[in-house]
Amino acid sequence: MFKKLALTTAAALVLTACGSKSSDIEASTVDGLWKPTMAQMGGANLPKEMLETMTLDIDGTNYNVVVLGQPETGELVYYSDTDPKRMDIIGVEGPNAGKTMKAIYKLDGNKLVIAYIVVGDQYPSEFTSPAGSQQFLVEYKK
């Protein structure tokens, strides 16, 4: 169960702001190679072994994520004028190709936190992953 969810959710997570379109300033603050330190789906922690297979590489408004050896690429649109900050994660190639996921994110130094609802077109309101929900939460470090 976690493997399938992880490929769908973690690949899109990236995962991850300004005005009506992407801001170069905001995009540059999240640039880099990120490794997850914690991830939850529906209140359940993803296994450590799965986290160890995940990487997220953000370059401006482009992302590349690998989960269990499965790559995904896509685009990010940042909205930093909201509280919490929002982003659209647009899958281009891989398990989430053609899908857009609505996410919230926060950046604190070398820590990036992203939350999104796997099914639907609404942004989460908080950085949680309630039990039984379709909300995914992940924390990354550079």
Contact 29, 16 (CB under 8 A): no
| pTM summary value | 0.82
Q: How confident is the model at residue 24 (pLDDT cuts 50, 70, 90)?
A: low
Judge whether residue 13 has pLDDT over 50. Answer: no
In terms of DSSP bridges, do strands 111-117 and 44-45 run parallel, antiparallel, or are they unpaired? unpaired
Per-residue pLDDT of 85-121, as tens digits, reads 999 999 999 999 999 999 999 999 899 999 999 888 8
Would you say 63 and 90 are in contact if contact means Cβ atoms under 8 Å apart? no
Contact 135, 128 (CB under 8 A): yes
Within 13-129, residue ranges assigned H as helices are 24-30, 48-51
Tokens of 130: 């309630």
CATH number for the 2-141 domain, one of 3.40.50, 2.30.30, 2.40.128, 2.40.160? 2.40.128
Cα dist. 128→53, 60, 136 in Å?
A: 23, 26, 8
